[in-house]
Structure 1
Amino acid sequence: MPELLFLLLPVAAAYGWFMGRNSLKTKELKGRADIARNLSSGLNFLLTDQEDKAIEQLLELLDVEAATIDTYLALANLFRRKGDWDKAIKIHEKLHQLKLPKVKAQQIQFELAKDYYAAGLFDRAEKLLLPLTENEQLREGALKQLFSIFLSTHEMHKAVALSPAVAQTQSRSLRIALANMQVQQLEQQPDIASLSQLAEDYPQAIRPRFALAKLALAKQDTATAHGAIMSILKQKPQWSADLLPLLSQCQLEPEQWQQLLAQLADKHQNISARLLLTDWLAEHQSLSAAEQYLLQKLQQQPNIRLFQKLLQLRQQQSAMAGEVLESVAGLVNAYLDSKALYSCRSCGFKTRQPYWLCPSCQQWESVEPIAGIDGR
C-alpha cells in the first residue's frame, strides 16, 4: 500500500498542475471576453453619439489592459480637434494616473498640457509643461506651448527666464519669438545698448534692429541707425519700402544713396528702390532720363506702382497730358488703396499694416511685404 501511494503522488501532482493551468487559462479567457465586451459596448455608444457613456465604458478598460494606450491617445486627440476639450482632458488625466514608462508618461503629460491650454486652463498647462523643458525630445514643443501661454497672459518675463532652455534647441522660430518678447519688454524704456545686444544675440530676428534704427534716429545717432538698417536690407531686402525712408534720414551722400538704390533695384528687383531711383534721376538729371528708366524697368518687370510713377512724370511734363491722365491716375490710386501690402508667409493672412505677430496664426515675423505686380 505505501508503494502504491508513492506511485500515485506524481499522478496527483500532474493532475493538480493540469487543473491549475486550465483554471488560469479559463480566467484569462474570461478576462479577454470582458475586455472585448466592454470595448464593443464602448464602440456602440460612440456609434450612437453617446460619447460620455462611451468614454466611461472605454476608460474602465485602462485598469485591465494598458497596452491599448495609443488607441486612447488617438481618441483623445480626435476629441481635442473637434473642440471637445473636456472629453480629451478626461481621457488624458486617466492615462496620466497610470504607472507607465517615463517616456510614455511624459508624452501623455504633454498631451494633457495641450488640452489644458486649449481649454484656457493656462496655469495647469504651465505647471505640466515647465518640467518637460528638461526633456530633449519634448523641449522644443513644450517651449512653444509655454510661449503661447505667456503671450496670452502678457507675462513676457517668464519667456525671457527660459532663454537658457531655448539656447539648448535648434529652433529658429523660438529665438525669433524670444527676441520679439524682449523688445516688447523694452518698449517702455528702450535704450540703444540693450537693443544692440538683442540684435547681436538674435541675428535671426529683424525687430531688434528695426527698433534700434528708429531709436538711434530719434537720438540722432545716424551711424548706428545706418548699420542696423543695412544689416536688415542685406538679410531681408523685401523690407525696403519700410526701411528706405528711414535710411534717407541717415545723411548719406547723393552718390552713395544712388549706388545703394541701384544695387537694390538691379540685384533684388526691388520696386521701392526703383521708385526712389526714379526720383533721384528726375532731380539730378532730367525728367526724360527718369521716364526712360521707368519705361525700361516696366518692360522688364510689369508693376502697377511703377506705372503710377510713370503717370506722375507724364503729368509733370505737360499740363495737357496731366488733364487727360488725371482720371487714369485716380483709378490707379483707388486700385492700389484697396490692395494689401503685407502677407503672412505661414498662413496667408493679408493686411495693409505690418504686424510683428501674425493675428491669424500667431507666428512671429511671418508677416512680410507683398511682392508681385502690386508689390512695393
Structure 2
Amino acid sequence: MLELLFLLLPIAAAYGWFYGRNSLRREELKGKAHVAKNLSSGLNFLLTDQEDKAIEQLLQLLDIEAATIDTYLALANLFRRRGDWDKAIRIHEKLHHLKLPKTQAQQIQLELANDYFSAGLYDRAEKLLTELVQAEQLREKTLKLLFTLFIATHEWHKAVSFSHDVDKTDSKSLRIAIANMRCLDQQKPLDAFSLRLLSQQYPQAIRPKFELAQMLLKQQLPEEAAVAFKAVLQQKPQWAAEILPGLAQCQLPSAEWYQLLSQLAHKNKNITATIFLADWLVQTGSPAAGEQLLLEKLQQKPNIRLFQRLLQLRQITEPEHRAALHSVEQLVNAYLETKILFSCRNCGFKTRQTYWLCPSCQQWETVEPLSGIDGR
C-alpha cells in the first residue's frame, strides 16, 4: 500500500502542474479578452466622435497592457497634429508615469515636451528638454526643439549655454543656429575679437563673418574688413549682391578687384558682379567694353537687371536717344520694384528683404538672394 502511494505522488504532482497551467492560461485569456473589450470600446468612442470618453477608456488599458505603447504614441501624435494638445498631453503624461525601459521613457518625454511647446507651455517644455539633452540618441532632436523654443521666446542667452552640447553633435544646422543666436545675445555683445573666434568655431555660419566685416569697416579697418567680406564670398558667392557694396568701400587694389569681379561674373555667373565689372570697365576708360560685357551676358542668359544697366550705359554713349532710353528705364525700374529679392531655399518663402532667420520655416541662413531673370 505504501509503495502504491509513492507511485501516485508523481501523478498527483503532474496533475497539479497541468491544472495550474490551465488556470493561468484561463486568467491570461480572460485578461486579454478584457483588454480587447476595452480597446474595442475605446475605438467605438473614437468612431462616434466621443473623443473624451475614448481617451478615458484607452488610458485605463495602460495599467494592464504596457506593450501597446506605440499605439498610444501614434494616437497622441494624431491629436497633436490636429491641434488637440490637451488630449495629446493627457496620453503622454500617462505614458510618462509608467515604468518603462530608459530609451522608451526618454522618447515619451520628448513627445510630451513637444506637446507642451505646441500648447505654449514653454516652461514645462524647457524643463523636460533640458533634462533630455544628455541623452545621446535624442540630443540632436532635443536641441533643435529647444532652440525653436528659444526662438519663440527670444531668450538667446539660454541657447548660448548649450554650445558645448551642440559641439557633441554632427548637425550643421545646429552649429549655424548657435552662431546666429550668439550674435543676437545682448547680454554678451560681441566685439571684433569675439566675432573672429565665433567665425573660427563655427565656419559653417556666415553671419559672424558678415557682421565682423561690417564692424571692421565702421572702425575704418578696410584691409581687415576686406578679408572678412571675401571669406563670405568664398563660402557663399550667391551673396555677392549683399557683399560687393561693402567690399567696394574697402578700396582693393585695381587688379585684385578686377580679378574678384571677373571670377564671380564668369565662373559663378553672378548678376551683381557682372554689373560691378561693367561699371569698373566704364570707370577705367572702356565704356564700349562694359557695354559689350552686358550684351554678351544678356545673350547667354536674359536678366532684367543687366538690361537696366545697359539702358543706363546707352544713355551715356548715345545722348541723342537719352529721352527714349530714360522712358524705357523708368518702366524697367517700376517692374523691378515689384519683384522679390530673396527666397528661402528650405521652404520657398519669398520676400524683398533679407532675414537671417526664415519667418516661415524658422531655419537660420536659408533666405538667400534670388537668381534667374529677375535675380541679382
TM-score bracket, shorter-length normalisation: over 0.9
Q: Which residue of 2 aligns with 1:72?
A: 72
Following TM superposition, by how much is the alpha carbon of 1:256 offset from its aligned partner in structure 2, in angstroms?
2.4
Letter in 2 for 1:27: E
Letter in 2 for 1:26: R
Distance verdict in 2 for CA 1:220–1:17, change over 3 Å? same
The 3-state SS of whatever aligns with 1:340 is coil
Q: Which residue of 2 aligns with 1:317?
A: 317
Alignment of 1:37-48 (within 5 A): 37-48=37-48
Following TM superposition, by how much is the alpha carbon of 1:16 offset from its aligned partner in structure 2, in angstroms?
3.5
Following TM superposition, by how much is the alpha carbon of 1:22 offset from its aligned partner in structure 2, in angstroms?
2.7
With structure 2 as the length reference, what TM-score do the two structures score?
0.95
Point out where structure 2 has 5 or more consecutive residues left out of the alignment: none
Q: Which residue of 2 aligns with 1:25?
A: 25
Following TM superposition, by how much is the alpha carbon of 1:25 offset from its aligned partner in structure 2, in angstroms?
2.0
Following TM superposition, by how much is the alpha carbon of 1:8 offset from its aligned partner in structure 2, in angstroms?
5.0
Segment drifting more, 146-155 vs 186-195: 186-195
What count of residue pairs does the alignment treat as equivalent? 376
Q: Retained in 1: the 8 A contact 2:157–2:187?
A: no
Segment drifting more, 308-317 vs 159-168: 308-317
Distance verdict in 2 for CA 1:3–1:340, change over 3 Å? same
Following TM superposition, by how much is the alpha carbon of 1:362 offset from its aligned partner in structure 2, in angstroms?
0.5
With structure 1 as the length reference, what TM-score do the two structures score?
0.95
Letter in 2 for 1:369: P
The 3-state SS of whatever aligns with 2:105 is helix
Deviation digits for residues 185-211 of structure 1, max 9, x if unmatched? 259844211111111111100000111
Alignment of 1:255-266 (within 5 A): 255-266=255-266
Distance verdict in 2 for CA 1:337–1:187, change over 3 Å? farther
Deviation digits for residues 94-115 of structure 1, max 9, x if unmatched? 1111111111111111111111
Distance verdict in 2 for CA 1:8–1:307, change over 3 Å? same
Q: Which residue of 2 aligns with 1:343?
A: 343
What is the alpha-carbon distance in structure 2 between the residues aligned to residue 78 and residue 368 of structure 1? 35
What is the alpha-carbon distance in structure 2 between the residues aligned to residue 253 and residue 6 of structure 1? 111
Q: Which residue of 2 aligns with 1:36?
A: 36
Q: Does 1:112 align with 2:134?
A: no
Following TM superposition, by how much is the alpha carbon of 1:119 offset from its aligned partner in structure 2, in angstroms?
0.8
Following TM superposition, by how much is the alpha carbon of 1:286 offset from its aligned partner in structure 2, in angstroms?
3.2
Deviation digits for residues 77-98 of structure 1, max 9, x if unmatched? 1111111111111111111111
Letter in 1 for 2:277: L
Following TM superposition, by how much is the alpha carbon of 1:284 offset from its aligned partner in structure 2, in angstroms?
1.3
Q: Which residue of 1 aligns with 2:58?
A: 58
Deviation digits for residues 99-141 of structure 1, max 9, x if unmatched? 1111111111111111111111111111111121111110011
What is the alpha-carbon distance in structure 2 between the residues aligned to residue 281 and residue 242 of structure 1? 21
Q: Retained in 1: the 8 A contact 2:343–2:351?
A: yes
Q: Does 1:83 align with 2:92?
A: no
What is the alpha-carbon distance in structure 2 between the residues aligned to residue 3 and residue 203 of structure 1? 90
Segment drifting more, 169-178 vs 185-194: 185-194
Letter in 2 for 1:180: N
Q: Does 1:156 align with 2:156?
A: yes
What is the alpha-carbon distance in structure 1 between the residues aligned to residue 193 and residue 186 of structure 2? 11
Q: Which residue of 1 aligns with 2:281?
A: 281
Identity of aligned residues (%): 66
Q: Does 1:193 align with 2:193?
A: yes
Q: Which residue of 1 aligns with 2:355?
A: 355
Point out where structure 1 has 5 or more consecutive residues left out of the alignment: none
What is the alpha-carbon distance in structure 2 between the residues aligned to residue 105 and residue 261 of structure 1? 57
Distance verdict in 2 for CA 1:138–1:188, change over 3 Å? closer
Alignment of 1:212-227 (within 5 A): 212-227=212-227
What is the alpha-carbon distance in structure 1 between the residues aligned to residue 101 and residue 110 of structure 2? 14
Deviation digits for residues 195-251 of structure 1, max 9, x if unmatched? 111111111000001111111011101121011001011110111111111001112
Q: Does 1:241 align with 2:216?
A: no
Distance verdict in 2 for CA 1:190–1:18, change over 3 Å? closer
